[in-house]
Structure 1
Amino acid sequence: MNIDEIIAIDFHTHAEEPCTCARDDGYYEFQQDFAKYFKNPAGHNMLPTIEETAAYYRDRKIACVLFPVDAERETGFRRYENEEVAQLAADNSDIIIPFASIDPAKGRLGAREARRLVRDFGVRGFKFHPTMQGFYPNDRSAYVLYEAIAEEGAISLFHTGQTGVGAGSRGGMNMRLKYSNPMYLDDVAADFPDMPIVMAHPSFPWQEEALSVATHKPNVYIDMSGWSPKYFPKILIQYANSILKDKMLFGSDWPVITPDRWLKDFDTIGIKDEVKPKILKENAVRLLGL
């Protein structure tokens, strides 16, 4: 990856299409509800492959952090194989930075997988979705996995706040929003002070909790994905322009929100000219050690 030629780093993109296996029954209906929530008319018919994602980002000279989400225990949908995603990312290493995802319920088996993914496949971090995976981030049963991630020098990225996943579906697909309160990450950040932690999204309805954790704990960052910037809370913009200008990261939530849309709206919200390069690229370069 030629960092000098890259104009931005999108810290939050999803691998949405299977690589070598068909999707499970009910998956496309799940994606249709998701598309309706984000007002994406393409729905499940236009979900990009990893190769298509790479081509999109390469054309724009934007690097991207790419990950699957292992929520098979709660959703019933089989996960992507982390190794497969990492291999496809390696084939497009000029533009893709590979992350993986492991359900913390997998315990020591998950910890062994995490170590192998970092050592043998070049995975740089791990995505957690507490609402989809059905766990509190500070549950001690997850700590064996965090220990492996921290010892391998990788990053942990956590979904925070309300999620569009399951929104509008009957019972919200049985997903519980309470798990994604960012305050639970305060414990994780205190117990693993050397493990970089990224809180994903404006953390509605807990935005101030997220800002307080990121302000208090040196190892905590925020990626600004999942919302069009024109809907960002004023206090998030205020902190991004000041106290947390070195800890904010550009993220889109591709493919439900595209970088084109995000970047266009980002230019309208009053971010200082001297802060924009930090959010769009410099903070991510430093965090990823690029």
Structure 2
Amino acid sequence: MASLKEVKARIASVNSTLKITSAMKMVASAKLHRAQAAIESMLPYEKKLNSMLAGFLTSGVQVDSTLAREREVQRVALVAVSSNTSLCGAFNANVIKKLNARLEDYQSLGRENILIYPIGKKVEKAVRKEGYEPQGSYQSMIDKPDYQAAAELAEQLMEMFEKGEVDRVELIYNHFKSTAVQVMTDEQYLPVEMPEEPQQAPDQYRPDYIVEPSAAEVVQTLVPQVLSLKIFTILLDSSAAEHAARTIAMQMATDNATALLQELKIQYNKSRQQAITNELLDMMGGETAAN
């Protein structure tokens, strides 16, 4: 059995850890509220843009966008979003695991034909560990998601796709569903998925819009805006998911520290009681011997 001094030292250590995890949970919770408010403010705008685009596409407008052209995948770009820091449970591990799975799927293309855009320190480090050279460093985009930086990355990806430098672009990130649930997401970014057969609504329900200069030109302008906004949205989404994961992780760490602290206090009291009993027995044994 550990000595009273050792148990007391462990109690002090666990108490210190408990204070740290509790404080980190409060900080993460505050950041989560801000990140959740940001993504909830952005989603209606994104949904409206997507609704406008879908409305045009399902109205029979013929659009020949270079961003929607399917072709044989010979070169691929993967955009993976993680965090810059740890202590957020399996948040980063899940992103890295999904990224490695996609790298395995595209292994037949050759390493030189797989371009990786790591957004976040953790995934960037993992990419280098796998022997790939990241296509830039985007760690600053995680701490404070910025639309301009997101739009610049989106424009770069769209330009590469239009020039035929990549044939497919995928996004890998954690989607924030709730504080307790973050969904690992892998979705196609380019080419843009457009409906092959527009659904014709009955005449009485079909909106009769006057579009200038033309519906096709509006869609051509709308598609890049939707794609630029998509990158910014996943940054906000991933940020909310990160803070949610950290809040839960710190809550679990706090609960574990509290439970361990209770066990150590019981152990300390038992050891102290045993020590007092032994001293009393020694005293009684000494008096008996003296008599």
Shorter chain as denominator, the TM-score bin is under 0.3
Taking structure 1 as the reference length, what is the TM-score of the superposition?
0.27
* Bigger share in helix: 2
